[in-house]
Structure 1
Amino acid sequence: MSATASRMRRRRSLADIAQPIVTVLALVLLLGVPFWLVISTAGKSQAEALNPNLAPPSQWQLFENLAQVFTEGRMALAFGGSLLVMIPAVFGVLILGSMAAWVLARRSSRGLAVVYALAISGIVLPPAVVTIVLLLRQLGLAGTPVGMIGVYMGMYLSTVIFFVTGFVRTIPQELEEAARVDGAGPVKVFVRIILPLLMPVLATATILICLYIWNDVFYALFAVGGRLDTLPLNLFQVASAGLYLQNWHLIFAYIILMSLPLLLVFAFAQRKIISGVTSGAVK
């Protein structure tokens, strides 16, 4: 029995050692290889990057390629277009979605259950692109930032409602009742009581929606294509002609510059999300 127990302990110790090693290797393969492909290709010359591979460049020229992309690729104008669309869309969908989720979480009826099901159905039902384009034309919003903001708000309102509704149900209703006893109206209760408690889940939803909007080219192409430049739309347009034609080193350099703002936002917001969730759990 002692020999069998000793063998089982050795097997468990080997498994405990092998598990983190396998996990690290899997992360390196899944994340490190694509990341290295982007960096190495962006640092090559045009001739070396003609057939992208994992080989390092013979002479690094990453910063030169980044500078060329930024100055000649109209990135500043496209960056402004992305912010012009993303910031109002994210702000609007968070406010409207959290208010709707608060009402749906606090009131229970068959009618509101149907409304909630319809509200979150947008997560699984794809938007009808042709209908969106025709509707924007009828409203006179085709090719305008306002139309694109409305499209994004309609697309991602379901995501916010789904995230926030479950979180609101964990907030004690006694907090709202105490505020109403003190004379607070619905708007004041939402702004003073509910909204501050929603910050952790809203931060998570913000990162997801920013990621979707920042990298979107499909809907932007149909809604504002040719009239407003965003970063992915600008990359799509210039990658097929002009400066980036067959210049994979410049395309990958553009991808790096386009990804940096979201990477920085995620790096700073991640701590806030974790601290917010932890403080909420302690309370």
Structure 2
Amino acid sequence: MNGKKEKQLRPSSILKYLFLISGCLVIAAPLYVTIITAFKTREESTVNFFSFPSQFYLGNFREIIEKQNYFRYLGNTVIITVCSLLLMALVIPSLSYALSRNLRRSKFYRFSYIYLVIGLFVPFQVVMIPLVKIASSLHMSNIWGLIVLNLVFALRDGVFLFVAYMDSVPRELEESAFIDGAGVVQTYIQIVFPLVKPMTATIMILNGLSVWNDFMLPLLLLNKSKNSWTLQLFQYNFKTTYSFDYNLAFASFLLSMLPVMVVYVFAQKYIIQGLTTGAVKG
């Protein structure tokens, strides 16, 4: 017993826990400031910015929801996120299936796969300016153009993960379906796609978080008109509209965080299932 206690109190263990506690504090501190500022009046924030509110003031949330077209921007964000995810769920698994089954016997499919994977190593800043010019020339500087671009950027890591995951699907099942007279499309829909649902859920959840919180692409494509703003652009423009009212801004941050946090809490098991299943089968 004494030996076990001595092992638990080793300096390396103490440093490890200190590092973890420090990381938790770094994450928790901004969240604490966001929450307390959202529930404080302007006068309370002026007196002491980091103090706990004397009462939970809901006027900031009421002002945002009632007066600032909040639901328009929320609707735009929901439309962009949902439509982007539906396209990803349709395109990425089917494209990955075609690549996975023809990768070793076709130079065209091999080149297509390498071309998509290379995109993982190209920073967004490199393609940012050409992207804006091409989108403008194709009249894609709108919500629907942003949805298409979300799909394009999701193809890189989505195809990379799915092709490896597709290799774990037993090909005997597909061969049995072909013998029974099923075509490629029918085999994919009825046999392959149900087997890759964990990875599909993982890709959709991770990309859903990314699309919901995305700021740069909406800033480049949607900042011309207020009617096209997402929640992130709405928050960004607090600086000019309200001379940056911290109470309203942080209340808006909290409102935009809540839906995605709720979805993440309920969908967390699918993320873990998809990643662990892929790791074991890979």
Q: What TM-score, normalized by structure 2, do the two folds share?
A: 0.85
Amino acid at match of 1:234: F
Written as runs of structure 1 = structure 2, the 5 A alignment for 1:79-228 is: 79-107=74-102, 108-109=104-105, 110-127=107-124, 128-142=127-141, 144-227=142-225, 228=228
Amino acid at match of 1:132: L
* Residue 13 of structure 1: how far off its partner (Å): 3.3
Contact 2:202 2:275 in 1 (8 A): no
* Residue 101 of structure 1: how far off its partner (Å): 1.1
Match of 2:233? Answer: 233
Amino acid at match of 1:220: P
> Which moved further from structure 2: 106-115 or 160-169?
106-115
* Residue 157 of structure 1: how far off its partner (Å): 1.2
Contact 1:50 1:246 in 2 (8 A): no
1:121-162 CA-partner distances (Å, limit 9, x unpaired): 2222134222222222322333x2221111111111112112
* Residue 226 of structure 1: how far off its partner (Å): 2.6
Match of 1:64? Answer: 59
Contact 2:99 2:113 in 1 (8 A): yes
1:90-135 CA-partner distances (Å, limit 9, x unpaired): 2112321111111222221454333212112222213422222222
Contact 1:41 1:53 in 2 (8 A): yes
Identity among equivalent pairs (%): 25
- Aligned partners of 1:279, 1:138: CA distance in 2, in Å? 43
Contact 1:78 1:229 in 2 (8 A): yes
* Residue 186 of structure 1: how far off its partner (Å): 1.1
Amino acid at match of 1:134: K
1:259 to 240, 244, 257: 257
Contact 2:80 2:146 in 1 (8 A): yes
User: 1:30 aligns to what SS in structure 2?
Assistant: helix
- Aligned partners of 2:81, 2:223: CA distance in 1, in Å? 16
- Aligned partners of 2:108, 2:140: CA distance in 1, in Å? 33
Structure 2, gaps ≥5 residues long: none
Match of 2:32? Answer: 36
Amino acid at match of 1:121: I
- Aligned partners of 1:269, 1:98: CA distance in 2, in Å? 19
- Aligned partners of 1:274, 1:112: CA distance in 2, in Å? 30
1:25 to 9, 21, 30: 21
Amino acid at match of 2:50: L
User: 1:241 aligns to what SS in structure 2?
Assistant: helix
Aligned residues: 273
Match of 1:78? Answer: 73
Contact 2:88 2:204 in 1 (8 A): no
- Aligned partners of 1:202, 1:52: CA distance in 2, in Å? 47
Amino acid at match of 1:180: F
